[in-house]
């Protein structure tokens, strides 16, 4: 069985949020460069929450992590999250978070980009901070996987060419 065959985890964001009619949901997306973050064995979730909460002046409990994955590459880790306007009852499994329950993701992403001290979060080197309207797939499609592998190989060829050139 490949990872493409595996079902979504029980507590995936698909079970926590109400997506728009066309499957959209606005989130903040941070990509970390793992090559520039040596010694990290697993995602430091508590440190990530605390750093983001401190920068945005919100409670760590208001940070709802929706995706944490590498999407087919060991070089980059992407974390997608949203910030709740206020704390809701986390023990109520019937709640599906609606877009209106969150701080505007586009403005949060813009604020975070402007903060120079967020070039590193929880010991991880930040590659990019951006607003996106669509949550990443749980697992990359076969075509997405091929595209990433091709891009990585082309980058390596480019480095070899520059080295030899």
Longest Cα–Cα distance in the chain: 61
Whole-structure pTM value: 0.70
17 is written with which tokens? Answer: 């949020």
- How much of the chain exceeds pLDDT 70, in percent? 65
pLDDT per residue over 82-129, tens digit each? 999 875 555 555 567 788 889 999 999 999 999 888 888 998 999 999
Determine the pLDDT at residue 39.
77
Torsion of CA 50, 54, 58, 60, to 10 degrees: 0
* Chain mean position to CA 52: 13
Instruction: State the CB neighbour count (10 A cutoff) for residue 3.
Output: 10
Domain ranges of the chain: 9-138
CB 84 within 8 A of CB 103: yes
**Would the pLDDT of 70 be above 90?**
no
């Amino acid at each position: 069985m490949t990872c493409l065959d595996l079902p979504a985890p029980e507590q995936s964001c698909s079970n926590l949020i109400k997506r728009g009619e066309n499957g959209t949901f606005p989130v903040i997306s941070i990509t970390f460069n793992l090559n520039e973050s040596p010694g990290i064995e697993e995602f430091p979730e508590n440190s990530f929450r605390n750093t983001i909460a401190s920068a945005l002046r919100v409670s760590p409990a208001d940070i709802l992590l929706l995706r944490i994955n590498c999407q087919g590459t060991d070089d980059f880790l992407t974390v997608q999250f949203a910030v709740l306007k206020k704390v809701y009852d986390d023990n109520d499994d019937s709640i599906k978070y609606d877009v209106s329950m969150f701080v505007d993701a586009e403005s949060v992403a813009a604020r975070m980009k402007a903060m120079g001290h967020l070039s590193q979060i929880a010991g991880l080197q930040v590659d990019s901070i951006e607003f996106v309207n669509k949550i990443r797939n749980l697992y990359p499609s076969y075509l997405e996987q091929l595209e990433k592998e091709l891009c990585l190989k082309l980058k390596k060829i480019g480095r070899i060419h520059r080295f030899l050139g």
